Amino acid sequence: MKRLVLLAALAAALTGLVALPANATNECRGLQVCVKVAGPWVLASPGQVQFELACPRKFVIGGLDAEVSSRKIDVGFVGSLGSPVNPGITTSGSAVFLGRLLRGTDPAASFRPHIGCIPASGGGGRGQTAYNAFAPGKPIRHVTKIAVLAGRTQHYVGRCAAHEQLAAATHAIGFLGDIPPTVSLARSVHVTQTVHAGRVKLTISSTSALAAGRAVVQLDLVCAAL
Protein backbone atom coordinates (compact mmCIF):
# COMPACT_ATOMS: atom_id res chain seq x y z
CA MET A 1 0.00 0.00 0.00
CA LYS A 2 1.46 3.33 -1.06
CA ARG A 3 2.18 6.35 1.03
CA LEU A 4 0.33 9.52 0.25
CA VAL A 5 1.51 11.01 -3.04
CA LEU A 6 0.20 14.37 -4.23
CA LEU A 7 -0.90 13.85 -7.82
CA ALA A 8 -1.45 16.33 -10.66
CA ALA A 9 -4.52 15.27 -12.63
CA LEU A 10 -4.43 15.75 -16.40
CA ALA A 11 -8.18 15.62 -17.03
CA ALA A 12 -11.40 15.01 -15.11
CA ALA A 13 -14.22 12.98 -16.59
CA LEU A 14 -17.86 13.61 -15.76
CA THR A 15 -17.89 10.45 -13.69
CA GLY A 16 -15.21 11.85 -11.42
CA LEU A 17 -12.46 9.57 -12.73
CA VAL A 18 -9.15 11.08 -13.76
CA ALA A 19 -6.28 10.08 -16.01
CA LEU A 20 -3.00 10.03 -14.12
CA PRO A 21 0.57 10.84 -15.16
CA ALA A 22 2.80 7.83 -15.81
CA ASN A 23 4.53 6.17 -12.85
CA ALA A 24 2.46 8.04 -10.25
CA THR A 25 1.20 4.74 -8.85
CA ASN A 26 1.92 1.06 -9.52
CA GLU A 27 -1.36 -0.29 -10.86
CA CYS A 28 0.13 -0.60 -14.38
CA ARG A 29 3.56 -1.94 -13.40
CA GLY A 30 4.61 -4.81 -15.67
CA LEU A 31 1.65 -4.38 -18.04
CA GLN A 32 2.51 -3.47 -21.64
CA VAL A 33 -0.93 -2.05 -22.48
CA CYS A 34 -2.63 -0.42 -19.52
CA VAL A 35 -5.11 2.40 -18.90
CA LYS A 36 -4.94 4.04 -15.47
CA VAL A 37 -8.18 4.96 -13.68
CA ALA A 38 -8.32 6.75 -10.32
CA GLY A 39 -11.27 7.24 -8.02
CA PRO A 40 -12.05 9.99 -5.51
CA TRP A 41 -10.70 10.23 -1.97
CA VAL A 42 -13.05 7.96 -0.01
CA LEU A 43 -13.59 8.65 3.67
CA ALA A 44 -12.44 5.75 5.87
CA SER A 45 -13.76 4.74 9.28
CA PRO A 46 -13.27 1.94 11.84
CA GLY A 47 -16.11 0.18 10.03
CA GLN A 48 -15.27 -1.24 6.61
CA VAL A 49 -15.99 1.14 3.73
CA GLN A 50 -16.56 -0.18 0.20
CA PHE A 51 -16.03 1.67 -3.05
CA GLU A 52 -16.31 0.28 -6.58
CA LEU A 53 -14.12 1.52 -9.43
CA ALA A 54 -14.70 0.42 -13.04
CA CYS A 55 -12.61 0.15 -16.20
CA PRO A 56 -13.74 1.44 -19.60
CA ARG A 57 -15.83 -0.97 -21.66
CA LYS A 58 -14.03 -4.02 -23.05
CA PHE A 59 -11.26 -3.75 -20.42
CA VAL A 60 -10.56 -5.84 -17.31
CA ILE A 61 -8.47 -5.01 -14.28
CA GLY A 62 -4.83 -6.08 -14.50
CA GLY A 63 -3.48 -4.22 -11.47
CA LEU A 64 -4.59 -2.29 -8.39
CA ASP A 65 -3.09 0.28 -6.06
CA ALA A 66 -4.23 2.87 -3.53
CA GLU A 67 -3.09 6.08 -1.89
CA VAL A 68 -3.86 6.74 1.76
CA SER A 69 -3.88 9.89 3.84
CA SER A 70 -2.62 8.00 6.89
CA ARG A 71 -0.64 4.83 7.58
CA LYS A 72 -3.45 3.84 9.93
CA ILE A 73 -5.64 2.96 6.91
CA ASP A 74 -5.72 -0.55 5.48
CA VAL A 75 -6.95 -1.06 1.90
CA GLY A 76 -7.75 -4.31 0.11
CA PHE A 77 -10.15 -5.48 -2.57
CA VAL A 78 -12.75 -8.17 -3.18
CA GLY A 79 -11.59 -10.86 -5.60
CA SER A 80 -13.52 -13.59 -7.37
CA LEU A 81 -13.07 -17.26 -6.67
CA GLY A 82 -11.36 -19.23 -9.44
CA SER A 83 -8.14 -20.63 -10.81
CA PRO A 84 -5.69 -19.49 -11.96
CA VAL A 85 -5.58 -16.17 -10.13
CA ASN A 86 -5.31 -13.60 -12.91
CA PRO A 87 -7.16 -10.79 -14.74
CA GLY A 88 -10.52 -11.87 -16.12
CA ILE A 89 -10.87 -14.56 -13.41
CA THR A 90 -9.88 -13.00 -10.09
CA THR A 91 -10.77 -9.54 -11.41
CA SER A 92 -13.39 -8.33 -13.85
CA GLY A 93 -14.08 -4.92 -15.35
CA SER A 94 -14.59 -3.41 -11.91
CA ALA A 95 -13.17 -3.81 -8.41
CA VAL A 96 -14.64 -3.26 -4.96
CA PHE A 97 -12.04 -1.67 -2.68
CA LEU A 98 -12.30 -2.25 1.08
CA GLY A 99 -10.93 0.47 3.35
CA ARG A 100 -10.71 0.58 7.14
CA LEU A 101 -9.21 2.96 9.71
CA LEU A 102 -7.30 0.53 11.92
CA ARG A 103 -6.77 2.68 14.99
CA GLY A 104 -7.38 6.11 16.41
CA THR A 105 -9.82 8.72 15.17
CA ASP A 106 -9.37 10.92 12.13
CA PRO A 107 -12.45 12.62 10.62
CA ALA A 108 -10.56 13.24 7.37
CA ALA A 109 -8.95 9.79 6.99
CA SER A 110 -9.31 8.75 3.36
CA PHE A 111 -8.01 6.46 0.64
CA ARG A 112 -7.91 6.85 -3.14
CA PRO A 113 -8.35 3.66 -5.20
CA HIS A 114 -6.49 3.10 -8.48
CA ILE A 115 -6.93 0.41 -11.12
CA GLY A 116 -4.90 -0.50 -14.19
CA CYS A 117 -7.10 -1.70 -17.05
CA ILE A 118 -6.03 -4.03 -19.84
CA PRO A 119 -7.93 -5.15 -22.97
CA ALA A 120 -10.36 -7.97 -22.25
CA SER A 121 -9.90 -11.30 -24.00
CA GLY A 122 -11.56 -14.68 -23.80
CA GLY A 123 -13.90 -14.89 -20.82
CA GLY A 124 -12.76 -11.57 -19.36
CA GLY A 125 -14.89 -8.49 -18.99
CA ARG A 126 -17.35 -7.12 -16.48
CA GLY A 127 -20.09 -9.39 -15.25
CA GLN A 128 -21.64 -11.02 -12.22
CA THR A 129 -19.02 -12.65 -10.05
CA ALA A 130 -18.73 -14.79 -6.92
CA TYR A 131 -16.95 -12.80 -4.22
CA ASN A 132 -15.01 -14.32 -1.36
CA ALA A 133 -17.06 -12.25 1.10
CA PHE A 134 -19.95 -14.67 0.46
CA ALA A 135 -20.42 -18.41 0.17
CA PRO A 136 -19.88 -19.40 -3.48
CA GLY A 137 -22.74 -18.07 -5.50
CA LYS A 138 -23.56 -15.21 -7.81
CA PRO A 139 -24.51 -12.04 -5.90
CA ILE A 140 -25.46 -9.13 -8.11
CA ARG A 141 -24.06 -5.69 -7.38
CA HIS A 142 -25.87 -2.47 -8.25
CA VAL A 143 -23.79 0.70 -7.83
CA THR A 144 -25.10 4.25 -8.03
CA LYS A 145 -23.07 7.46 -7.78
CA ILE A 146 -24.86 10.59 -6.56
CA ALA A 147 -23.33 14.03 -7.03
CA VAL A 148 -23.58 16.03 -3.80
CA LEU A 149 -25.02 19.53 -4.09
CA ALA A 150 -23.45 22.11 -1.76
CA GLY A 151 -25.71 23.44 0.97
CA ARG A 152 -28.57 21.11 0.06
CA THR A 153 -30.37 18.10 1.48
CA GLN A 154 -30.93 15.30 -1.02
CA HIS A 155 -32.86 12.05 -0.84
CA TYR A 156 -32.24 8.93 -2.86
CA VAL A 157 -33.98 5.55 -2.74
CA GLY A 158 -32.34 2.43 -4.18
CA ARG A 159 -33.64 -1.09 -4.57
CA CYS A 160 -32.76 -4.34 -6.24
CA ALA A 161 -34.27 -5.23 -9.58
CA ALA A 162 -37.37 -7.36 -9.98
CA HIS A 163 -36.80 -11.01 -9.00
CA GLU A 164 -33.87 -9.99 -6.76
CA GLN A 165 -33.59 -9.77 -2.97
CA LEU A 166 -31.46 -7.27 -1.07
CA ALA A 167 -28.59 -8.94 0.78
CA ALA A 168 -26.52 -5.93 1.87
CA ALA A 169 -26.29 -2.19 1.36
CA THR A 170 -23.41 0.19 2.01
CA HIS A 171 -22.52 3.73 1.05
CA ALA A 172 -19.31 5.72 0.77
CA ILE A 173 -18.46 9.43 0.57
CA GLY A 174 -15.77 10.47 -1.92
CA PHE A 175 -14.13 13.82 -2.64
CA LEU A 176 -12.78 14.54 -6.12
CA GLY A 177 -9.36 16.13 -6.40
CA ASP A 178 -5.63 15.55 -6.30
CA ILE A 179 -5.22 15.74 -2.51
CA PRO A 180 -7.15 14.29 0.44
CA PRO A 181 -9.99 16.33 1.93
CA THR A 182 -9.36 18.60 4.88
CA VAL A 183 -11.23 18.02 8.14
CA SER A 184 -13.57 20.89 7.26
CA LEU A 185 -14.34 19.42 3.85
CA ALA A 186 -14.73 15.88 5.22
CA ARG A 187 -17.27 17.15 7.74
CA SER A 188 -19.20 19.09 5.09
CA VAL A 189 -21.10 15.98 3.91
CA HIS A 190 -23.26 13.78 6.12
CA VAL A 191 -25.18 10.69 4.99
CA THR A 192 -27.89 8.75 6.82
CA GLN A 193 -28.86 5.31 5.49
CA THR A 194 -32.05 3.42 6.36
CA VAL A 195 -33.36 0.11 5.02
CA HIS A 196 -37.03 -0.89 5.00
CA ALA A 197 -38.80 -3.61 3.02
CA GLY A 198 -35.93 -3.98 0.60
CA ARG A 199 -35.68 -0.23 -0.08
CA VAL A 200 -32.50 1.65 0.86
CA LYS A 201 -32.95 5.36 1.54
CA LEU A 202 -30.07 7.81 1.71
CA THR A 203 -30.44 11.30 3.15
CA ILE A 204 -27.47 13.41 2.04
CA SER A 205 -26.88 16.80 3.63
CA SER A 206 -24.02 19.18 2.96
CA THR A 207 -22.77 22.57 4.10
CA SER A 208 -21.47 25.53 2.14
CA ALA A 209 -17.91 24.35 2.90
CA LEU A 210 -18.37 21.91 0.03
CA ALA A 211 -17.97 24.80 -2.39
CA ALA A 212 -14.22 24.25 -2.04
CA GLY A 213 -14.46 20.81 -3.65
CA ARG A 214 -16.72 18.29 -5.33
CA ALA A 215 -18.14 15.24 -3.61
CA VAL A 216 -19.98 12.07 -4.57
CA VAL A 217 -21.87 9.48 -2.57
CA GLN A 218 -21.77 5.90 -3.85
CA LEU A 219 -24.58 3.51 -2.92
CA ASP A 220 -23.64 -0.15 -3.26
CA LEU A 221 -26.42 -2.77 -3.23
CA VAL A 222 -25.65 -6.49 -3.14
CA CYS A 223 -28.62 -8.52 -4.34
CA ALA A 224 -29.37 -12.22 -4.73
CA ALA A 225 -31.41 -13.67 -7.56
CA LEU A 226 -34.67 -15.29 -6.45
What's the number of domains the chain is made of? Answer: 1
Predicted pLDDT of residue 133: 44
134 lies in a domain? yes
Q: Domain span at residue 172?
A: 11-225
DSSP string, 85-115: -SBTTTB-SEEEEEEEE-SS--TT-EEEEEE
Predicted pLDDT of residue 138: 63
Asked whether 67 and 4 are in contact (CB, 8 A), the reply is yes
Predicted pLDDT of residue 43: 97
2 lies in a domain? no
Confidence of residue 213 (pLDDT cuts 50, 70, 90): confident
107 lies in a domain? yes
Confidence of residue 88 (pLDDT cuts 50, 70, 90): confident
66 lies in a domain? yes
